[in-house]
């Protein structure tokens, strides 16, 4: 099979706003970039090094757009920005460098919106963690199975831990949603959980038969023994009938990842990432995953789609007549 075109390499781009491969910035992009740099020079009084960083970042972004065949800012939406950040990661940029690139793009798109060059800001939907943009870490299903099997379900605490881990993976909950879950939110007969997420928004997420089985066992045989005749509306109980805390569950995850001999960092959010990615790898619709995760905008969910790229390439090579 003949080799495809070489991978686009931004790492050797020269400094300045013309940073690109040997081709210059497309003519429809160089003017707004120059106008933005002039604006931040005069209005913001930026230091020369900061101005140079802005120019270098925007030049690299313009080169990316040219490579993608996009010659106009009007063609840039949130999905394009997400793809660019993924490309930066694959090219070896660390979290802080990617965060700086996003800051440059945010400033630039705010400016071109104010100048009526574009109608909307494609960066406004992207939330950047303080430590930078981290793409999802996905746990292989074999490791998920070992983690879920780790608790000793002969003991009440083991039953609780098993139920929490199963539900976290079965429904892709945030840890705050898991520990605040009330009994009235569970419908094990119908096989779903009602989740109160960010902004007090509710969503209904289905849960599978294995999670239902483990939850029934905990609620029947484990939870009453942990409560010791106390009453609580919460599903998951810690010592003295108190609700489980985020920090408490974090320690539980760490304990079982060690006993399962999983040699990389696992957090509650890693399991949520894996829930989404495993669904997409299995062929789930992106919008269905968006609803189950409780994302307000599908652009937030699209960041998971890169995880399936290698699998899709393998399927294409295996089954396409000219793969």
Would you give per-residue pLDDT tens digits along the chain (323 residues)? 333 333 333 233 433 323 333 344 444 678 898 889 888 887 766 667 788 888 899 999 999 998 888 878 888 988 888 889 888 888 888 777 888 898 899 999 999 998 888 888 988 877 664 454 455 578 888 999 999 999 999 999 999 999 999 999 999 898 989 999 999 999 999 899 998 877 677 888 889 899 999 999 999 999 999 998 888 999 999 987 788 998 999 999 999 999 998 877 888 888 888 888 888 777 777 778 887 888 766 656 666 655 455 555 555 465 545 54
Report pLDDT for 272. 87
How far is residue 181 from each of residues 59, 216, 245, 283, measured CA to CA in Å? 48, 15, 11, 29
Report pLDDT for 133. 46
Every domain of the chain with CATH number 1.10.150.130 lies at 1-135
Report pLDDT for 298. 61
What are the two backbone dihedrals, phi and then psi, of residue 196, each rounded to the nearest 5 degrees? -100, 110
Q: What is the DSSP letter of 218?
A: I
Every domain of the chain with CATH number 1.10.443.10 lies at 141-313
Question: Are the CB atoms for 66 and 30 separated by under 8 Å?
Answer: no
Lookup: tokens for 254: 């760490």
Using DSSP's 3-state secondary structure scheme, residue 186 falls into: strand
Q: What is d(CA 85, CA 105) in angstroms, rounded to the nearest whole number? A: 11
Q: What is the DSSP letter of 234?
A: B
Report pLDDT for 24. 45
Q: What is d(CA 70, CA 63) in angstroms, rounded to the nearest whole number? A: 10
What are the two backbone dihedrals, phi and then psi, of residue 222, each rounded to the nearest 5 degrees? -105, -50
Instruction: Give kind and range of the element (H or E) at residue 196.
Output: strand 192-196
Report pLDDT for 286. 75
Report pLDDT for 10. 29
Q: What is the pTM of this model?
A: 0.56
Q: What is d(CA 236, CA 194) in angstroms, rounded to the nearest whole number? A: 15
Lookup: tokens for 23: 């081709």
Question: Are the CB atoms for 201 and 294 separated by under 8 Å?
Answer: yes
Q: What is d(CA 238, CA 24) in angstroms, rounded to the nearest whole number? A: 62
Report pLDDT for 16. 30
Q: Give CATH for domain 1-135.
A: 1.10.150.130
* Cα-to-chain-centroid distance, residue 122: 17
First-residue to last-residue Cα distance in the chain? 8
Neighbours of 122 (CB within 10 A): 21
Q: What is d(CA 63, CA 13) in angstroms, rounded to the nearest whole number? A: 9
Question: Are the CB atoms for 250 and 238 separated by under 8 Å?
Answer: no
CATH C-level class of 141-313: mainly alpha
What are the two backbone dihedrals, phi and then psi, of residue 206, each rounded to the nearest 5 degrees? -70, 150
Report pLDDT for 314. 57
Report pLDDT for 29. 77
Residue of 138, 135, 131 lying closest to 272 (CA atoms): 138
Report pLDDT for 12. 37
Catalytic residues: 174, 198, 269, 272, 295, 304
């Amino acid at each position: 099979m003949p080799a495809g075109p070489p991978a686009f390499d931004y790492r050797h781009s020269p400094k300045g706003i013309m940073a690109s491969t040997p081709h210059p910035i497309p003519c429809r992009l160089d003017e707004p970039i120059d106008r933005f740099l002039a604006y931040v020079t005069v209005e913001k009084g930026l230091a020369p090094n900061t101005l140079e960083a802005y120019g270098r970042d925007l030049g690299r972004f313009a080169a990316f757009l040219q490579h993608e065949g996009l010659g106009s800012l009007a063609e840039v939406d949130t999905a394009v920005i997400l793809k660019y950040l993924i490309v930066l990661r694959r090219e070896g940029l660390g979290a802080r460098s990617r965060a700086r690139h996003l800051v440059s793009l945010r400033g630039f798109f705010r400016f071109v919106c104010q100048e009526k060059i574009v109608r909307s800001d494609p960066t406004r939907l992207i939330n950047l963690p303080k430590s930078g943009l981290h793409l999802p870490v996905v746990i292989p299903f074999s490791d998920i199975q070992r983690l879920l099997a780790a608790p000793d379900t002969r003991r009440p605490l083991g039953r609780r831990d098993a139920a929490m881990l199963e539900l976290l993976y079965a429904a892709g909950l945030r840890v705050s949603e898991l520990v605040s879950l009330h009994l009235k939110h569970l419908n094990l007969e119908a096989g779903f959980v009602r989740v109160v997420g960010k902004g007090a928004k509710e969503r209904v997420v289905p849960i599978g038969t294995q999670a239902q089985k483990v939850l029934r066992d905990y609620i029947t045989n484990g939870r009453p023994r942990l409560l010791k005749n106390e009453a609580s509306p919460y599903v998951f109980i810690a010592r003295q009938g108190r609700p489980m805390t985020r920090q408490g569950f974090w320690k539980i995850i760490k304990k079982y990842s060690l006993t399962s001999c999983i040699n990389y960092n696992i957090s509650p959010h890693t399991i949520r990432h894996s829930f989404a990615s495993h669904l997409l790898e299995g062929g789930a619709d992106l919008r269905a995953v968006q609803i189950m995760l409780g994302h307000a905008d599908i652009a937030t969910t699209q960041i998971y789609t890169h995880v399936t790229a290698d699998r899709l390439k393998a399927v294409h090579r295996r089954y396409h007549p000219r793969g």
